[in-house]
């Protein structure tokens, strides 16, 4: 059986960046006996999810957090999908950015959140990332010893075109650091992961921060793994924790053979093209 072991870290987020990085390092060390191949972190795992704070926490690519995360991946000999952190470019634009490192600590992927979370739900959540963040413009896939994977961030999952583009480019696993809230989480978190997994016949891994009722933005939590048939393989509750799951990669091939959705598309009538 062609398998890989993944570990999703649902961490608490404090206002202290170094404290958050230290907590991740300690959790990775505690996982050594599990020997995971891939570990994933939540969206904005090293700073509060608060728009006015993103510029204050933002770092250039290769900055302090990047270096620490690279070292962790190398020390633990894992693929590390390092959640997302605020990144600032040379022009001063700030992005919600996800990095992925290989077992040697080399950066093998970088995704800037494409769809900014600007919502105003009647009787629910108001949030506007575009107050301080710029949007990315790249579809992100990358190669590993387990095959090609894709990565996007939170609100990106709501746009099925993006997941389909990653699948068209060969992604068999899609990683999503995310932080749905107490309005959208109960309604759409599990549904979104099951739907995107089913549509594209991929494994979907969603990693969220643990719930903190004292924070200005309250995460739904519930980090999740869904399979290519649309089943939920594992899901945490709202508390801090680790979700460890074995993925049978042969299932992707079997399901795509038995129910050939991707092959059955009518590309003579419609086509999704990467711009």
The helix (H) or strand (E) run that includes residue 207 is: strand 203-207
246 among known catalytic residues: no
- Active-site annotation holds for 154: yes
Measured distance CA(169)–CA(150) in Å, rounded: 9
Reading the block at residue 239, the tokens are 């508390």
Here the tokens at position 99 are 């990095």
C-alpha torsion 175→179→180→181, nearest 10: 170
Cβ count within 10 A of residue 272 = 13
Q: Which of 27, 154, 190, 238 is catalytic?
A: 154
Q: Which one of 27, 43, 59, 152 is the catalytic residue?
A: 43
> Per the residue annotation, which of 113, 129, 190, 238 is the catalytic one?
113
43 is catalytic: yes
Cα-based angle 38, 42, 43 (whole degrees, multiple of 5): 130
- Catalytic machinery residues: 43, 113, 154
């Amino acid at each position: 059986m062609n398998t890989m072991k993944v570990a999703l870290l649902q961490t608490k987020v404090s206002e202290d960046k170094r404290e958050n990085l230290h907590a991740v390092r300690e959790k990775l060390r505690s996982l050594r006996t599990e020997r995971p191949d891939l570990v994933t972190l939540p969206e904005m795992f090293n700073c509060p999810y608060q728009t006015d704070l993103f510029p204050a926490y933002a770092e250039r690519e290769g900055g302090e957090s990047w270096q620490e995360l690279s070292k962790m991946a190398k020390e633990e000999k894992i693929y590390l999908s390092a959640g997302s952190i605020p990144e600032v470019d040379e022009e001063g634009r700030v992005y919600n950015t996800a990095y992925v490192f290989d077992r040697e600590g080399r950066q093998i992927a970088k995704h800037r959140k494409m769809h900014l979370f600007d919502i105003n739900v009647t009787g629910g959540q108001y949030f506007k990332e575009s107050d301080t963040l710029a949007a990315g413009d790249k579809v992100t896939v990358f190669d590993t010893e387990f095959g090609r994977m894709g990565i996007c961030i939170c609100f990106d999952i709501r746009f099925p075109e993006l997941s389909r583009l990653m699948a068209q480019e060969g992604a068999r696993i899609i990683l999503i650091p995310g932080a749905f809230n107490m309005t959208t989480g109960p309604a759409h978190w599990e549904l979104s992961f099951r739907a995107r997994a089913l549509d594209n016949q991929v494994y979907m891994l969603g990693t969220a921060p643990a719930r903190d009722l004292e924070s200005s933005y309250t995460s739904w939590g519930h980090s999740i793994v869904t399979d290519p048939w649309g089943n939920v393989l594992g899901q945490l509750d709202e508390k801090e924790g680790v979700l460890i799951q074995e993925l049978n990669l042969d299932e992707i091939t079997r399901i795509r053979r038995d129910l050939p959705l991707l092959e059955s598309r009518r590309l003579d009538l419609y086509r999704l093209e990467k711009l």
